[in-house]
Structure 1
Amino acid sequence: MEKSFHRFSELFAQLGLRMDAAGIREFLEEHAPLPPDVLLADAPFWTPAQATLLREELLEDADWAEVVDQLNVALRAAKGGPDAE
């Protein structure tokens, strides 16, 4: 099976969030840094549906795992994140 490439912005769309560069930047600025002892999907700002999506993508769908990892890294940074393409 061929792996798909997903953009950071596409993950935001899947989560029902603004997927434009400004929306992604605002989200990261509002929610970063995520404490090291909090799992990404357990962060308090996700809806139950968003948390479930993140858990499922990491556990079941390797196609999305890389971009979910990028989100995890971006949220653990002091501010900012990867380029919002």
Structure 2
Amino acid sequence: MEPFQHNLSNLFSQLGLNNSDEFIQVFITQHQLSQQQHITEAPFFSKVQRRFIQECQEQDADWCEVIDQLDALLRK
């Protein structure tokens, strides 16, 4: 059995979003965070999506590295 691959595509799928490369690029371009804003405060995520991200971070889950990657991409 192969370990689950945590990447941006799988994170978007987990969040219930389209996980195509094109959608991810457009999403990142259209949604940005200020330097002071925490990803769990992002207004473009639903309450359920924010809760998932927060719980992953609190539990230091396997998703944390990919969430951190998305967080960085949303600040460029």
TM-score (structure 2 length as normaliser): 0.89
Report Cα offsets for 1:13-36 as digits up to 9, x if no partner: 01111101001011101102x101
Identity rate, percent? 38
Q: Which residue of 2 aligns with 1:48?
A: 47
Q: Which residue of 2 aligns with 1:31?
A: 31
Gaps of 5+ in 2: none
- 1:8 Cα shift? 1.0
Report Cα offsets for 1:45-79 as digits up to 9, x if no partner: 111000001101111142111000001000011xx
For 2:60 and 2:16, locate their aligned partners in 1 and report how far apart those are by CA, in whole Å.
18
- 1:44 Cα shift? 1.0
- Are the counterparts in 2 of residues 4 and 63 from structure 1 also a CA contact under 8 Å? no
For 1:62 and 1:15, locate their aligned partners in 2 and report how far apart those are by CA, in whole Å.
15
- 1:5 Cα shift? 3.9
Q: Which residue of 2 aligns with 1:82?
A: none
Gaps of 5+ in 1: 78-85
- Are the counterparts in 2 of residues 42 and 51 from structure 1 also a CA contact under 8 Å? yes
Q: Which residue of 2 aligns with 1:66?
A: 65
- Say how many residue pairs are matched: 74
